[in-house]
Structure 1
Amino acid sequence: MTYAKAKDGTMLYYKDWGQGDPVVLLHGWPLTGDTFDDLAVKLVEAGKRCIIPDRRGFGRSDQPWNGYDYDTFADDVAAILEDAGINQPVALVGFSMGGGEVARFTSKQGRGRVSAAVFASSVVPKVVQSEDWPDGVPQSKLDDITKQMKEDRAGFMKTFLQQFYGWGVLSRPVSEAVLDSGFQQAMMAGARPTYAAAAAWAGTDFRPDLPAFDGIPTLILHGTSDANVPIEGTGRKTKELIPHATLIEYDGSPHGIFETDKERFCKDVVEFLTREGRGTSADTGGSAIPLAN
């Protein structure tokens, strides 16, 4: 297995599939990089090289006590790219909390480091409700989620994943095996990473990061029935703050569109990243750009 070493010594697992212009696939909470296996296969078949990390604390990566903030997550992505020998602009695809890494990496590394960006069911620009963000999720609801996790993390994950995939008595868009796979991935994470990463995606304001996307081809994919990260305060707001972005709404779809709408999701991302050479170094006017510190 392939590992990169983060600044603090944390070992970060990642898959490195294919050859061609690089695409980094950043998974959501509380899953692993395996989220993107189906999409990665399609991208490799389309001529891309896919870098697919497990975020620190999750999957096969180390589980340190500290480092569950978006500055560190973005630095971890940079460390993985350095280990993989990639110094050209990269396309970034972020699902759910992974969208925050897309935002923070882009603002920290600079526009010339990113050739294209995809936000899928993303927590960007802000999740928690505030006076200047009325469409967000009330803090009391987020506090209740934390309380439930700490009382029975395994039980919480079972229920959470059903909502994640819109799975119920009348609607079962994925199989029970998909639920089981999600549960197994979720329970690979340590308790501390699970709680701390949740606090990070729930509490981080990414609005200051979004001006960095000026000139970067950007795609937003979001389900209109997403009960985990409601589209009103995220996907549609991201479109407002990145006016040139393309927003595609999946009517009636829940949070986990990479499974519930797999064929469409893969098609939309692959077409976007391969359109007219998009995702190549030509998009940012350079071919070899050093990683910023």
Structure 2
Amino acid sequence: MTAQTKRVPASLGREEYVEVEKNVKLHVSDLGEGTPVVLIHGWPLSDAMYEYQYQYLIQEGYRVIGITLRGFGKSDKPYGKYDYDVYADDIKVVLDKLNIQNATLGGFSMGGAISIHYTAKYGAAHINKLVLFGAAAPIWSKKEDVDELIAQSRINRPQLLENFGKIFAATETAISPALGAWLGAINLEASPYATTQSLIALRDGDLRTDLGKIKIPTAIFHGTKDKICPFNLAEEMHAGIKGSYIVKFENSGHGLFVEELQKFNSELLSFLKK
């Protein structure tokens, strides 16, 4: 299998489509030059969510690689399994094919849970640091609450996404209407099937045994007002990952990467430089 790639000059960045299994290609944004930072998006976003991290980190001299998971954004949307194992396996193939070494892996929400599982399953292959942004881990929520989301995903996905958007930030006005519309448009690019199947993965995922397998430096970024992944999850991850530390975002809900954009980027840069 070979990566099918559409390239622009290296100084500007590259868009790639990497085949992770027969007839399944993932969209990868590969931008800048320098020490690599690999970013995994949350449900039901795509790597486009990191637009304002890409621009910042490129300016700071980093190579940023955003992987859009199968079923989302510009990646292929096959029928089949959508769970943490499949997602972790896909990330491994992409990093193998791009020959990434000594990267920092960052994941938001479901992407944070997947990043934990990848690190534990593959013994931190290709990476030497981990950073978790509002991660949906080690166990996301009460199963009955997620069951309601799954049911709504099957009959009224636009309403599900609208409801989700209302509790995404610390307050309904914490994210501007323009940014909210931008995020909503990204959400609607997701496959309806993948949207539902990923909710099932979130409901059933239990990463408590994975936490103790993480042996690399780990930072945990979390909004103290998060209504989707409550702050106690950050404390559980911190307790389970030896040597980890928490960065509190006191004015953020779940959307810390845009709610406190400047702090988010500066704290990420500080972690990268440690």
Provide the TM-score with structure 2 as the length reference. Answer: 0.90
Mapped pair 1:236 → 2:250: no
Indicate the residue corresponding to 1:197 in structure 2. Answer: 198
From 26, 35, 42, the equivalent of 2:56 is 42
Instruction: Give 1:151 shift.
Output: 2.2
Residue 100 of structure 1 aligns with an amino acid whose one-letter code is: A
Q: Which residue number corresponds to residue 218 of structure 1?
A: 218
Q: Give 2:121's aligned residue.
A: 108
Q: Is the 8 A contact 1:5 1:12 kept in 2?
A: yes
Query: Does the Cα contact within 8 Å between 1:106 and 1:113 map onto a contact in 2?
Result: no
Measure how far apart 1:114 and its partner are: 2.0
Q: Report the CA distance between 1:252 and its aligned residue.
A: 4.1
1:1-293 → structure 2 map (5 Å cutoff): 1-86=15-100, 88-111=101-124, 113-127=126-140, 137-168=141-172, 172-214=173-215, 216-232=216-232, 234-275=233-274
Provide the C-alpha distance between the structure 2 equivalents of 1:54 and 1:243, rounded to a whole number of angstroms: 29
User: What is the Cα deviation at residue 113 of structure 1?
Assistant: 3.2
Task: Name the structure with the higher strand share.
Answer: 2
Q: 2:149, 2:199 within 8 Å by CA — same for their partners in 1?
A: no
Q: CA deviation at 1:42?
A: 1.7
Contact 1:111–1:212 (CA<8 Å) still a contact in 2?
no
**Quick one: distance in 2 between partners of 1:93 and 1:176?**
26
**CA contact under 8 A between 1:223 and 1:257: conserved in structure 2?**
yes
What is the aligned-residue RMSD (CA, Å)? 1.4
Give ranges in structure 2 of 5+ residues lacking alignment.
Answer: 1-14
Structure with larger RCO (C-alpha < 8 A, sep 6+): 1
- The answer to whether the 8 Å contact 1:67/1:73 transfers is no
Q: Answer whether contact 2:44 2:187 (CA < 8 A) is retained.
A: yes
How far apart are the structure 1 equivalents of 2:201 and 2:52? 27
Deviations 1:164-203 (A, max 9, x none): 12343xxx11111111111111110111000001111222
Give the SS at the match of 2:130: strand
Percent sequence identity is 30
How far is 1:207 from its partner? 1.4
Segment of structure 1 superposing worse, 194-203 or 56-65: 194-203
Q: Deviations over 1:47-69 (max 9, x none)?
A: 21111011110000000111311
Moved over 4 A (4+): none
**2:55 partner amino acid:** V
Separation in 1, partners of 2:94, 2:79: 20
**Secondary structure in 2 aligned to 1:68?**
coil
